[in-house]
Amino acid sequence: MKKPIPRLRPSAEATRATVAEAVSDPELRQLIERLPLWRRPGYLVRRLHQIHTALFVEECQAFDITPVQYGVLTTLSLKPDVDQNSLAQDVGIDRSNVADVLARLAQRGLVERHRSTTDRRAVLARLTPEGLRVTRAMLVAMKRAQERLLEPLGSAERVLFMAMLLRLVDANNGSGRAALGPAAA
């Protein structure tokens, strides 16, 4: 049986409480007090990423597409004929990784690449008809993975969680190896 997610105290109390005191589940509270990793945001973000990846892979297993590949496919569905540098910036991965992801997707017949007619140095990418079909077909499974990840949170908590995530990403964006866009139009 799945253990319910511990609820946080109202925000005014939580701001005065330690992390352990803000959690209602006694087992989780003991874990937080005993192991310093459970008080470290970086550890918890990494652990949540692992959990999200597992949920995504489980929900999307029929497609054999990774979360990063799906991010590339989604971006290409919205921005066909984008150059690799802009695509890397839009997805938040470095340029060499985007080239590898595109090569794997091209091998599967989901993406095609070609040289720009205006800048011969630039390689542009677009979805093939099969790539568009797979991207659309995956949408329901991807949404199930997202829903499962956020399921323990109420609707107001989800909005707050997303707002806090966006604030942290925005404030720390320049520190990553591959800063997110906006890419040049």
DSSP states of 84-126: HHHHHHHHT--HHHHHHHHHHHHHTTSEEEEE-SS-TTPEEEE
67-137 adopts what CATH topology? Arc Repressor Mutant, subunit A (1.10.10)
Segment among 33-47, 59-73, 120-134, 143-157 with least mean pLDDT = 33-47
133 and 73 in contact (C-beta within 8 Å)? no
Closest CA to 179 of 83, 108, 104, 88: 88
Other CB atoms within 10 A of residue 47 CB? 13
Strand partners, 126: 112
Predicted model pTM: 0.80
pLDDT at 184: 41
Domain chopping of the chain, boundaries: 67-137
- Whole-angstrom distance, CA of residue 27 vs CA of residue 6: 10
The residue count for the chain: 185
Q: What are the pLDDT digits (tens) for 83-134?
A: 999 999 999 898 889 999 999 999 999 999 999 888 888 889 999 999 999 9
pLDDT at 17: 54
The average confidence (pLDDT) of the chain is 87
